[in-house]
Chain A
């Protein structure tokens, strides 16, 4: 798993590249735990190259979502592959998290 951060004034974009499992999700957790993340209005997760997610990966997002909401930070996923979106759907997370098709739509929120 490779995570690339692209910060702008109000938005932090994280590009996820690889597979998010019980091993690699530790890295993502460290990134999202950084208090500076809460200074942004939006955290956008680019999932185009996210090829796999397990419950450990989902757990990282779930564990930070409320903290983000309390701080007024929107967490938005975009460019998600069908097989990865399917995992969110199986747990009903697609209706509890913000997932949009493209970066343009994510930026417009």
Chain B
């Protein structure tokens, strides 16, 4: 089973990553609801990396690598854009967001609620985000 892909930082590639992760999880026999939850968490991070960290610059790349060991599913995302600071995270207040007509600010809340563990690390020339989920 193919476990890695590289995409250019374009919005149209969000679906490419979703289909890749989804196909891998179908191969692992996961149910539709679980697959959708993991795919959603990955999509939220990939969208942030493509749109915010790399400003949709198609000359830049994002590497996605998948791994499963002892039932623990790991997604590794590597890019060279600006780094995300988890310290800046704020829990969204949905009634307030509705009142204010806000469009964004919910992606990381979904990721944090859907995944078992989320890690961000900065290296000399690249960033890594790792997402973990124990599979049933």
B residues less than 8 Å from A19 (CB atoms): 15, 18
Band of interface residues on B: 20 to 34
Which residues in window 17-64 of B have CB below 8 A to A? 18, 32-33, 36-37, 39-40, 43-44, 47, 50-51
Query: Could you tell me how many residues of chain A have their Cβ less than 8 Å away from some Cβ of chain B?
Result: 26
B109 interface hit (Cβ, 8 Å): yes
A62 near B18: Cβ-Cβ < 8 Å: no
A residues less than 8 Å from B32 (CB atoms): 83
A residues less than 8 Å from B109 (CB atoms): 55, 91
- Complex Cα distance A54/B44, Å? 7
Interface of A is mostly: helix
Pick from B51, B99, B100, B106 the residue with the most CB of A within 10 Å.
Answer: B106
A55 near B44: Cβ-Cβ < 8 Å: yes
Which residues in window 91-111 of B have CB below 8 A to A? 92, 94-95, 97-104, 106-107, 109-110
State the Cβ distance, B88 to closest chain A Cβ, in Å: 16
- Complex Cα distance A67/B11, Å? 28
A91 near B106: Cβ-Cβ < 8 Å: yes
A59 interface hit (Cβ, 8 Å): yes
B residues less than 8 Å from A58 (CB atoms): 106
Contacts from B to A (Cβ < 8 Å): 11-12, 14-15, 18, 32-33, 36-37, 39-40, 43-44, 47, 50-51, 92, 94-95, 97-104, 106-107, 109-110, 113-114
Enumerate the 8 nearest inter-chain pairs by beta-carbon distance, A residue then B residue, closest first.
Answer: A59-B103, A23-B11, A83-B36, A55-B107, A22-B47, A55-B106, A63-B103, A63-B101
